Structure 1
Amino acid sequence: MSSCNNSIPQPLIFVLAGIPGLESSHGWFSVPFFLVFVMTVIGNVTLICIIRVDKSLHEPMFLFLAVLSVVDLSLVSVTVPRMLGIFWTDAKEISFNTCLMQMFFIPFFYVMESGILVAMAFDRFVAIWKPLSYTTILANNMLVKIAFAVLARAVAVLTPAPILTKRLESFQTHIIAYSYCAYMAVVKIACGDVSNHIVYGLMVIVASVGFDLYFIILSYGLILRTVFLIPSWEARGKALSTCGSHFCVIALFYSPVVFSVLAQSLGYHMAPHVQIIIDNLYFLVPPMVNPLIYGVRTKQIRKQVLRILRCLGD
C-alpha cells in the first residue's frame, strides 16, 4: 500500500529521467548505445538477407533464426531511439498513451524472443533425438503453429499491463526514474493499493522467463542424455557443436534476468543507476551479439558473410 500526501491525477505527460544520478554522463552513454544500435541493425539485417537469399538455409533452425533477428530489430527499435533522444536532446517527455504502448511492446518483444529461444531448443532436441524425422516433425505447418503460439502467449501475457496502468488514478510524481516506460517503474510512483500490479508483474516473470528456462533446461538435459548414448566420440562432438551457438545465445539472454532476480531474492539492493543499466542490457546486448555468435559458429552463414566481405573488398 502506497500513500500520497500530495498526489497528482493521472498525468497527460510523463518525464523519463534517463539514468538517474548520472545525468551529466548521458552524452557518454549515448555513444555505446548508438554503436550498439547500428551494429544490431547491420548484423540482423545481414542475417535476414542471407537466410532469405540462400535457399539452402530454408530449414527450421535458420527460419527460427530469421524470426529471432526480426524480433531483435523490433526490440531495439522501440527502446534505443527514445533513449538516444533523452541522451542527445533531453527529450524526456512522453505522453501517457505512448508510455502505455512502450510498456506493452518492449516486454512483448522480449517475451517473444524468449519463446523463440524455447522453439530453437526444441528444434535442436528434435534434430538430435529424431534426426531422420526432423523435417517431418518440423514441417512448415508445425513451424506456423509454433510461431502463432509464441505470438499468442506474448499478447496474452502483456495485454493486461497497459489496461491495469490505465486504471491508476493518481501518482506521487510524473517523473519516471527510468530511460523507458517500464511497467513496474510506473507502478512504483502510483498511489493507493498496487498489490495486484505486483502480483501481475511476478506472474509475467513466471509465465515467460521461468516457464521458458524450465523447458530449455529440460530440452538440453534430454539432448545431453541422447548425445552421450551415441557410441562414437566424433558423432558426439558433431552433435554438441550444433547446439553450441544456441547455448551461448541462451546464456547471454537470460544471465542479466537471473542475476537481477537472484540479487533481489538475496536482499542485495543495487544502486538505482546500476539496476537501470543492467535492465537496459536485457534489450541491447543480445540483439547485437546474436548475429555475431551465429555468424561465427554456423558454417553456412559464415561462408555467406565471408563471400559478401570479399565482394565488398573487390
Structure 2
Amino acid sequence: MSSRPTLALVPGEPAGVGPELVVRLVQQPRNDCRLLAYADPHTLQQAAQVLQLPLRLLPADALAQQPGDLPLQVVANAQASRFGQPDPANAPAVIGALRAAGADCLAGRVDGVVTGPVHKAAINAGGIAYSGTTELLAEQAGVEVVMMLANPSLRVALATTHLPLRAVPDAITADLLERVIGIIRSALQRDFGLADPVIGVLGLNPHAGEDGVLGDEELRIITPTLQRLRARGWQLPGPWPADTAFLPHRLAQVDAVLAMYHDQGLPVLKFSGFENATNITLGLPYPRVAVDHGTALELAGKGQADPGSLLAAVDLCAALARQRKLCT
C-alpha cells in the first residue's frame, strides 16, 4: 500500500442522496487519499446529471487525474434506481457493495471504508436481515465493535446501538461495559493518539438513578464496573446524569463520552454539530467512518443535500488510516 491511503467509498441507498453526495465530493482533488467507489455506475451518472457536474468513471485500478474523476468497482443494481423510491430488488447490491468494501479492507487491498446512508426497511424488504452497517461489518470481520459519533467538539460512544428502548436495561451488564470501554480506550489510543484517554460514563436512569430511587443499575452494575476498571489505572469519571453530562465544564474533562443507549447521547452530538458529524466504528481491523445522517429520500434528485458530513467522514477516515500506518 502507498503512503497515501486508498479509501473504499460506498454511497449506500441508490435512491437516496448518497450518490449525489459522492458526485459533489469528487469535484475537488484530494492529496490525502485515493477514493475507490463501490457502486452502480448508472446511479452515479444519474446523480451527476441532476447536479450538472462532471463525472468520469474510471477502472478500479486507475488514478483520478482531474475533478470529477472517480475509480469505480462496479456493483450493479438489479433495477434502475428512481430518486426517493427505494427498491427492495436493489438490496443485494447495497449489501454487496458494503461486503465487498469490507472484504477488500480485510485483505489489505484498501486502507479504510467510508459509507453513505442505507435504508434499513428496503434492505429487510429485499429479504436480507439488516440492522445496520456497523453490525454487518463487525460480523464480517468477526470482531466486537463500538459505535462512536464525533464532530469537531465532541465524541459520543454507545454501549448499545440499535435496540428497542425496553431492551436496553437488560443489555447493560458488567461484561458488556468492560468490553465496550476496553474497545473505546484502545481505539482512542491507537487511532487518535491519546496515551491515557479520559472517558466520561453516563448513568442509565434519570439523575443516574439518584442512589437507587430512580433505578438501581448504577448501583448494581455501572459503578462497580467503573471501580474495577479504575483499579487498572483507567480514567473513567461517572456515572454522570445524562442531563448534565454535556455541560461545557464536564466535557472539558474528557476525551469521549459513553452513553448507555442510542438516543441518550446522540441528540446532543447532532445538535452541537450535525453538518460535520461522523459515525466511527471502533474495534474493526481497519478504519470505518460513515455519514451521520439518513438517506433523505425527500431530497434525492433535487441537488439540495449538504455534503458536509461525507466530506468530514472522508477527512477523518484518511487521517485514521494514516495514523494506523504510523502504528504498524
Q: TM-score, normalised by structure 1?
A: 0.26
Higher-RCO chain (CA-CA 8 Å, sequence separation at least 6)? 1
More helix by percentage: 1
Q: TM-score, normalised by structure 2?
A: 0.26
| Larger CA Rg, structure 1 vs 2 | 1
